Amino acid sequence: MERYLSKPLAVLVGKTNVGKSTLFNRLTNKRFNITHSTPGATRDCIIKEADFFGHSIMVADSGGLETAQSKNPFKDLVKERVHDFVGQKASIVLFVVSAKDGFTAEDEEIAQYLYRVGKPVITVINKVDHQNHEPLTLDCVHHGFRDAVTVSAAQNLGLSELKKRIMAALKLAPKIGQSEERPLSLIVSEEDLRTDGDNKSVNVAVLGRPNSGKSTLVNALLNEDRVMVSELPGTTVDAVDTKLFYAGKEICLIDTAGIRRQRSIYQEVEKMAVARSLCALDRAQVAILLISAQEGISEQDQKIAGMIFDKKKACVIAINKWDEETEKNGSREKLLEDIEFHFSFLSYAPIVFMSAKYGRKIFEAIDRALMLAPRFQRRINTSKLNRSLERALEMHPPPVFMGRRLKLYFATQIDHSPPTFAISCSKPQGLHFSYKRYLANFFREDLGLREIPIRLIFRNKSSQEPFERNV
């Protein structure tokens, strides 16, 4: 079990479309999970830390449980995941029902399961946003739930009472000075307090096409069945954060939804899932781009690689599904040639061959990510940077433009993650792309920034206005 689950864990359980994800977002004070009217928008169990009157409590959102008659292809996987969290990890269960639906046969089936498990249960009657809905709480009393809490997650009503009930069930008292809820703007988690320069945790996003093995890789690294795995494309919808403690480091693994071609996305939930994957990339220092060795490099792989390059994230290219049979076919050289040709803009990114299914060399990708993260956040002394610039100019002087050789005067680092350097020069518009690429490659080798992206901004010495910054 993950180390952060040593804290109390409250698991939200219920049928589809009762508002579990909206309630989860309210309790954790973050818009983290996808909320949508389409049933089954949540599939994996998402865990986030919440502040309950000064106490740190973990809250887990789970997929909606459905009857055997449901045509949802993921219903059995969702049920297995929910039962695992409730039976093995939950300290308390929040059984969420909808006041608008009343107590249905599906709710009855879930209630009987929760009775058998024997965990502490608080029934949460959600969507009580009108007085006319309150009589529906009698349904719950009739079915044996006498201590039900009425809330409206959408309207942010009744959440304080729910938190108090949870704390009472866990035998926790509000800490001194925390008898009232703090405003949202004052609730700052340890994760929010970390700065890029001092961050001891490394955020690693696992990206790729559907069925490239992203969830299989995360489970193999954790050595547990943490996220759902299926041959059906689109199994993962939310970006699932999981903590991995490895080599003395805390790593946040972000398992993302498979990014499809735009014309292949039909449902709004899938569009939101892809958007969430891109947000996960924004949060990451390093991206692991998973490519299937069996299928080779596709147009979509190139687009995902382009997204990583545009966002200037450190990247590890992981060739997955690399087993003995694939290796016998002698396709390694062919794959390397294809990567060099199609991913020329990521020429600095390291490449690893692995098999998530069989656990072969999976930690090589993590080792690479841990090597790249500190370089991605590195700050370079100004004098050292300018000595490097002088050496670069000596080895390869700038080109001639309009009859005069261009001059590069000095450089300074203006940002990190990735390292961003502003270079003052005479005519920035006269610098050819090839020379800018030469400088970027030289800085990588000379300043200990190998295998990571760097950004160069060229400024006219007289105006100091940036001319170009996407190098």
pLDDT tens string 415-455? 999 999 999 998 888 999 999 999 999 999 999 999 999 99
Q: How far is CA 176 from CA 54, 55, 162, in A?
A: 8, 11, 20
Task: Assign residue 421 a region (left: φ > 0; alpha: ψ between -120 and 50; beta: otherwise).
Answer: beta
pLDDT for 38 equals 47
* Total residues found in the chain within this entry: 471
Local structure of residue 15 (DSSP, 8 states): B
User: For residues 305 and 46, which has the higher predicted lDDT (pLDDT)?
Assistant: 305
- Give dist(CA 86, CA 91) in Å, integer: 8
Long-range CB contacts for residues 325-328, cutoff 8 Å, separation at least 24: 326/293, 326/294
Instruction: Give the up-direction half-sphere exposure of residue 105: CA atoms within 13 A in the CB hemisphere.
Output: 4
Q: Which residue has the higher pLDDT, 163 or 77?
A: 163
Q: Determine how many CB atoms are found less than 10 A away from the CB of residue 116.
A: 9
Q: To which H or E segment does residue 93 belong?
A: strand 92-98
Residue 156, CB-side half-sphere exposure with 13 Å CA sphere: 5
Mean pLDDT of 126-146: 63
Region 128-155 average pLDDT: 69
- Whether 70 shows a pLDDT value over 70: the answer reads no
Instruction: Judge residue 183's burial from the number of C-beta atoms within 10 Å of its C-beta, 0-12 exposed, 13-18 middle, 19 or more buried.
Output: exposed
Least confident of 57-66, 171-180, 336-345: 171-180
pLDDT of residue 346: 94
What pLDDT is attached to residue 196? Answer: 40
Q: State the pLDDT confidence band at 141, using cuts at 50, 70 and 90.
A: low
Closest by alpha carbon to 21, among 50, 53, 55, 60?
A: 60
Return the CATH architecture of domain 194-375: 3-Layer(aba) Sandwich (3.40)
**Burial class for 1, CB neighbours closer than 10 Å (0-12, 13-18, 19+):** exposed
For all residues of the chain together, what is the average pLDDT? 80
Per-residue confidence at 312, pLDDT binned at 50, 70, 90?
Answer: very high
* Nearest by Cα to 86 from 1, 15, 10, 20: 10
**Rounded distance between C-alpha atoms, residue 346 and residue 330, angstroms:** 24
The predicted model gives 124-132 an average pLDDT of 77
Q: Does residue 260 register a pLDDT over 80?
A: no
pLDDT value at 42 more than 60: no
Q: How far apart are CA 304 and CA 260, in angstroms?
A: 9
Q: H or E stretch including 385?
A: helix 382-395
Please tell me which residue, 54 or 330, carries the higher pLDDT value.
Answer: 54
pLDDT confidence bin for 12, thresholds 50/70/90:
very high
Q: Where in the chain is the domain with CATH 3.30.300.20?
A: 382-468
pLDDT of residue 456: 95
Q: What is the largest CA-CA distance in the chain?
A: 91
Number of helices (H), then strands (E), belonging to the chain: the values are 14, 18
Most confident segment among 56-70, 153-167, 235-249: 153-167
Whole-prediction pTM value? Answer: 0.69
Spatial separation of the C-alpha atoms in residues 206 and 251, rounded to whole Å: 12
In the chain, CATH 3.40.50.300 covers 3-189, 194-375
> What is the per-residue pLDDT across 154-165, written as a single tens digit (0 to 9) for each?
888 889 999 999
Overall average pLDDT of the 243-257 stretch: 86
Q: Are 43 and 236 in contact (CB under 8 A)?
A: yes
Lowest-pLDDT range of 184-198, 279-293, 334-348: 184-198
Whether 10 and 91 have beta carbons less than 8 Å apart is answered as yes
Average pLDDT on 213-223 reads: 87
- State the pLDDT at residue 238: 61
Mean pLDDT of all residues in 220-229: 72
- From CA 97, how far away is CA 131, in angstroms rounded? 17
- Name residues whose C-beta falls within 8 Å of residue 219's C-beta, 6 or more positions apart in sequence: 225, 226, 227, 229
What pLDDT, on the 0 to 100 scale, is given for residue 399? 92
- Mean pLDDT along residues 190-200: 41
Predicted confidence (pLDDT) at residue 470 exceeds the cutoff of 80: no
Q: Which class would CATH give 3-189?
A: alpha beta
Six-digit token pair at 29?
A: 């004070």
Stretch 316-334: mean pLDDT = 80
Residue 332 pLDDT: 85
- pLDDT > 90 fraction of the chain, expressed in percent and rounded: 36
pLDDT at 75: 74
Does residue 39 carry a pLDDT above 80?
no
Asked if pLDDT for residue 3 goes beyond 50, the answer is: no
- What value does the mean pLDDT take over residues 135-151? 66
In the prediction, which pLDDT does 66 show? Answer: 77
pLDDT at residue 183, as a whole number: 40
CA distance 240 to 42: 11
> Given strand 420-425, what is the order of strands in its sheet?
408-415, 420-425, 455-460, 466-468
pLDDT band at 33 (very low <50, low <70, confident <90, very high): very low
Cα gap 76→393, rounded to integer Å: 63
Instruction: Answer whether CATH 2.40.110.20 is correct for domain 382-468.
Output: no
Q: Which of 111-120, 235-244, 289-298, 400-409 comes out lowest in average pLDDT?
A: 235-244
Residue 182 pLDDT greater than 80, yes or no: no
Helix (H) or strand (E) holding 215: helix 214-222
**Mean pLDDT across the stretch 319-348?**
84
